[in-house]
A and B are shown apart, each in its own frame.
Chain A
Amino acid sequence: MMTNRTLLAGFHDPDDRVESHMIEEIDAALGHPPRLDLPVGTMIFRQDDPLDGIYILIDGKVSLFQLIDGKEVIFHSQTVGRILGLLALTRQSRSFFHCRAVTPVTLLKISFADLDRALQQSDSLLVSFITVLLRSMARRNKRLVELQTEVLGLNKSLASERDTLARTLRELRKAQALLVESEKMATLGQLSAGVAHELNNPVAAIQRAADFVHQDLLQMVADLPDATTYRAMLDRSFTQAPLSTREQRERRRELATELVDEALAERLVAIGITDAAAYHDLVATWRGSAGDHITRLERMHQLGGALRNIVRCADRIGGLVKSLRAYARADHDEAVAINLHEGLDDTLRLFTNRMREVIVERDFGDLPPVRGLSGELNQVWTNLIANALDAMKNQGRLVIATRALPDGLVSVSVIDDGPGIAPENLDKIFNLRFTTRQGRVEFGLGLGLSISRNIVTRHGGSISVESRPGRTEFCVKLPVSRPDPTLSNQQEPEP
């Protein structure tokens, strides 16, 4: 027997030998105390139960757990060891864990008093007991370190999961914003196409009616005495733009000095008679009072001018309607060969009211038709021009330049003379930026450009920007023909 073994010598023995040795020693010392056989699930002791001894686990498995927020948190199952109530033993107090049998178990219960007696009787027991004790402790400690590492690992994966989630959310929001915007554009497009269509008939009617009135008027004038003079007046006021107000005043001054009659000069210049000789020639052909003739000429002039204004304004409305329809053409259809210049001109026309103080230079090169979706490309032009006008504060010089490039590409540049984009922002402007303020989503420069880049990319092209103070150029390059026109309209919801 190993009665005289030193403490450290015992450490080299394998666990089961030390453990079985310890049990033998206990049995010897305490006269083979009775074994307890317990079924699965039996609570052997509970947390905070006062323990008056330890349990030696002879067979089976238990788990040590605590209740945290009402949930069982298992601390040890593999690492329990042979001695239960370890911590209570060291502290001589209440149990630290709940202990439950997870398999049928066989236990040996030893009171602290018996343990004390047994340990005093046998040095060999003492050695094996302490060895078992220490090994249990070591195992549990090791488990603790493992747990810690596990927690760290978990935290890490949690954080990355959270980042992924946030990224997904951002993507979702971006997608939503794009969807909202393109839905808005689509609705607007349908609406303007509808309005444009409705305007077509009245505009056509006005244009025709003006034409009829003009013809009838010419017929009526032909029946008047002095028909040629009146006819000439009607024609002139119908076909020629009136003099600028500045020029009118100048002519009036000159004529007034020639005729020495301010009021007459004013009337004559108003009807486009600006030199005294022409007036005297007219007077020579008149019978009756010159005043009456001038009054009649004034009527002719007013009629011609009014007709001219009707025709011009109707044409303007007609042009606008046409642009609006072309611009808003609902294109869910296939990519077709399109003339980029038409789209650019339509877009420019729709910006007329913002460009009163803008000098627009259309530097259009000779472009082949480009395969694409005109509605979408128009949206790109709109965004680029709108951005340029914003930057220029609606005044200055705007250049729209188009070029055919050698390698089957065309380029469209929108160049403004605004203050430019700060270099540190230059690479960010295509990113989607938006802020939520007071619950409203507000879009900055980013959305339009982001949409534009999407569209250009889908057309197989690229968009770039160069900027310095006084010159900012956005350049869109598009391939003339793209073999595979998968210009799917994922962004465009069905109406």
Chain B
Amino acid sequence: MKPSITSGLGPTKTIGLVLAIFAFFVPFFITFENLSEPGHRVLGIFMMAVVLWITEAIPLHATASLIIFLCILLVSDKAMLPLPEGYKAPTYSSFFYSLANPVLMLFLGGFFLADGAAKYKLDKNLAKTLLKPFGQKPANIMLGLMLIVAVFSMFMSNTATTAAFMAVVLPVIARLPAGDRGRIALALCIPIAANVGGMGTPVGTPPNAIALGALNKAGIQISFIEWMVMIVPFMLIVLVVAWQLLVRLLPTKAETYTVEIDATYDRSPQAWIFYVTAAVTILLWFTEPLHGIQSAIVGFLPVVVMLATKLISDKEFHSMQWSVLWLVAGGIALGDGVGKTGLDTWMIGLIDWQDMAPGMIAGALCLVALLFSTIISNSATANLLVPIGISLATSPEIAISPVASAIFIAIGSSLAMALPISTPPNAIAYSTGQVQTKQMALVGGIIGVVGLLIFVFIAPVAWNMLGLLAD
């Protein structure tokens, strides 16, 4: 059988680890022109992060913590290696602060709301209520499902939403005869809607938070509702395109679908506390322009309320996806390091951008993000690309807004859904055994490309018209 390796790592992981160490040390031995000494060091960290995030030799969040640590050791004011004269070293605490970045607090609020929704079955109950108007025709039911999944995915993790709703559609699938293509459509519509829905709010998916965090660092504040106004309309368009695609490419022979959701509204006092907290939080997020309370602060409201009232038990608190927050924090720290050491300008300088149209650049960013995150984690993609994208946008010779640049990368990574490994929701759909890779690649690929075109070429026009990109 396979040879035993004492470290317990598979061959890919071992190779990844060796490569990462190699990548880390390359800039220490090769000097690049126009790149500062600290820039070299961060380049090493960056390349190491690329390898580790692609190979997943160590867990994604472990890479994130390593980035923070190495940034502090190599380029902060408390660096272990001597720093050149004239380099304005960021404080070591600024790297630690990435772990408490307001965007993380916003995301944490999203976690609590999602956990509460799952705990009190609010997701399934609302789905049951909301699905009623869509009747029983297969196409309508599927549209209803996709809209509901997208809405939940805006506030809950894409994975949790997919899992919850896959459980709802599996019985429907089981009632269809074998070979009916409606089975594939149903199994695919859930992850697609979840992935697309994730774009909708800053808390929808980690790349959004990474983009927002990087923009915050660059001094650009985007409110919860502003994000939604910019994204949701186009998100809905993509969703409808996806729906039509599924209905046409994979039509069912069934006359009706019957979706049975086994859930009743929890009317306990605790449930009511949660309903009210969730409603108030979301309302405050939507109305930020009216009261000016930042979404991160609002996001802390459900955290405090649900902990104080013990709606979230200690055990549930411990089992939250803290690793996601660490991953986002690592990305923010990396962006910080890249920006502060001038690595970003050096990297951008490697390519002659002036010959390119802004649309081309935006399209390239989005496409790279899409391709990257088709293979590796969406968050890791955003972590690597967002710092570069934002500095690209802030460099004077390039006519593209940093907001658009960051959003394109976030959206690009959310649009990646061509392969089972692209996102956990796809993996769930694939692992139900109802979908084959080629079908997923076809539908996911088309949606990715169509979504990219819509966001890169149509959205900016609308944003400009509405004055949303005003710096």
> Within the complex, are A and B direct neighbours (CB within 8 Å)?
yes
A positions within 8 Å CB-CB of B = 252-253, 256, 262
Q: How far is the CB of A63 from chain B (nearest CB, A)?
A: 107
Within 8 Å of chain A (Cβ to Cβ): is B167?
Answer: no
- Closest partner residue, chain B, to A253 (CB atom): B1
Within 8 Å of chain A (Cβ to Cβ): is B2?
Answer: yes
CA distance A256 to B2 in the complex (A): 9
CA distance A19 to B359 in the complex (A): 170
Q: How far is the CB of B117 from chain A (nearest CB, A)?
A: 42
1/0 per residue, CB under 8 A from A, across B1-40: the answer is 1100000000000000000000000000000000000000
User: How many residues belonging to B are interface residues under a CB distance threshold of 8 Å?
Assistant: 2
Q: How far is the CB of A265 from chain B (nearest CB, A)?
A: 9
CA distance A335 to B339 in the complex (A): 109
Q: How far is the CB of B2 from chain A (nearest CB, A)?
A: 7
CA distance A252 to B1 in the complex (A): 8
Chain B residues positioned under 8 Å from A262 (CB to CB): 1-2
A-B contacts, 5 of them at CB < 8 A, read A252-B1, A253-B1, A256-B1, A262-B1, A262-B2
- Closest partner residue, chain B, to A265 (CB atom): B1
Chain B residues positioned under 8 Å from A253 (CB to CB): 1
- Closest partner residue, chain A, to B3 (CB atom): A257
Chain B residues positioned under 8 Å from A256 (CB to CB): 1
CA distance A256 to B1 in the complex (A): 7
Chain A residues positioned under 8 Å from B2 (CB to CB): 262
- Closest partner residue, chain B, to A266 (CB atom): B1
Chain A residues positioned under 8 Å from B1 (CB to CB): 252-253, 256, 262
Q: How far is the CB of A252 from chain B (nearest CB, A)?
A: 8
CA distance A256 to B3 in the complex (A): 11
- Closest partner residue, chain B, to A257 (CB atom): B1
- Closest partner residue, chain A, to B2 (CB atom): A262
CA distance A253 to B2 in the complex (A): 9
Q: How far is the CB of A245 from chain B (nearest CB, A)?
A: 15
Lowest 5 A-B CB distances belong to which pairs?
A: A253-B1, A262-B1, A256-B1, A262-B2, A252-B1
CA distance A141 to B340 in the complex (A): 144
- Closest partner residue, chain B, to A252 (CB atom): B1
1/0 per residue, CB under 8 A from A, across B271-293: the answer is 00000000000000000000000
Chain B residues positioned under 8 Å from A252 (CB to CB): 1
Q: How far is the CB of B4 from chain A (nearest CB, A)?
A: 13
CA distance A199 to B1 in the complex (A): 47
Q: How far is the CB of B451 from chain A (nearest CB, A)?
A: 37
Q: How far is the CB of B109 from chain A (nearest CB, A)?
A: 47
Q: How far is the CB of A492 from chain B (nearest CB, A)?
A: 64
Q: How far is the CB of A240 from chain B (nearest CB, A)?
A: 25
CA distance A484 to B1 in the complex (A): 73
- Closest partner residue, chain B, to A249 (CB atom): B1
Q: How far is the CB of A255 from chain B (nearest CB, A)?
A: 11
- Closest partner residue, chain B, to A256 (CB atom): B1
Q: How far is the CB of A261 from chain B (nearest CB, A)?
A: 11
Q: How far is the CB of A415 from chain B (nearest CB, A)?
A: 46
CA distance A37 to B1 in the complex (A): 131
CA distance A77 to B314 in the complex (A): 112
- Closest partner residue, chain B, to A262 (CB atom): B1
CA distance A233 to B1 in the complex (A): 26
CA distance A12 to B451 in the complex (A): 159
CA distance A262 to B2 in the complex (A): 8
CA distance A262 to B11 in the complex (A): 15
CA distance A253 to B3 in the complex (A): 11
Q: How far is the CB of A258 from chain B (nearest CB, A)?
A: 13
1/0 per residue, CB under 8 A from A, across B199-215: the answer is 00000000000000000
Q: How far is the CB of A43 from chain B (nearest CB, A)?
A: 108
Q: How far is the CB of A269 from chain B (nearest CB, A)?
A: 12
Q: How far is the CB of A254 from chain B (nearest CB, A)?
A: 11
CA distance A253 to B1 in the complex (A): 6
Q: How far is the CB of A363 from chain B (nearest CB, A)?
A: 45
Q: How far is the CB of B3 from chain A (nearest CB, A)?
A: 10
Q: How far is the CB of A413 from chain B (nearest CB, A)?
A: 51
| Chain B stretch 303-319: residues in CB contact (< 8 A) with chain A | none
CA distance A333 to B361 in the complex (A): 107
Q: How far is the CB of B277 from chain A (nearest CB, A)?
A: 52
Q: How far is the CB of B10 from chain A (nearest CB, A)?
A: 13
CA distance A227 to B133 in the complex (A): 61
Q: How far is the CB of B128 from chain A (nearest CB, A)?
A: 44
Q: How far is the CB of A323 from chain B (nearest CB, A)?
A: 44
CA distance A375 to B397 in the complex (A): 110
Q: How far is the CB of A66 from chain B (nearest CB, A)?
A: 99
Q: How far is the CB of B166 from chain A (nearest CB, A)?
A: 29
Q: How far is the CB of B358 from chain A (nearest CB, A)?
A: 50
CA distance A42 to B269 in the complex (A): 114
CA distance A9 to B1 in the complex (A): 132
CA distance A79 to B68 in the complex (A): 135
Q: How far is the CB of A263 from chain B (nearest CB, A)?
A: 11
Q: How far is the CB of B12 from chain A (nearest CB, A)?
A: 16
Q: How far is the CB of A374 from chain B (nearest CB, A)?
A: 56
CA distance A262 to B1 in the complex (A): 7
1/0 per residue, CB under 8 A from A, across B58-94: the answer is 0000000000000000000000000000000000000
CA distance A231 to B1 in the complex (A): 31
CA distance A253 to B4 in the complex (A): 13
CA distance A139 to B93 in the complex (A): 138
Q: How far is the CB of A268 from chain B (nearest CB, A)?
A: 15
Q: How far is the CB of A250 from chain B (nearest CB, A)?
A: 11
CA distance A53 to B180 in the complex (A): 135
| Chain B stretch 90-120: residues in CB contact (< 8 A) with chain A | none
CA distance A383 to B2 in the complex (A): 55
Q: How far is the CB of A266 from chain B (nearest CB, A)?
A: 10
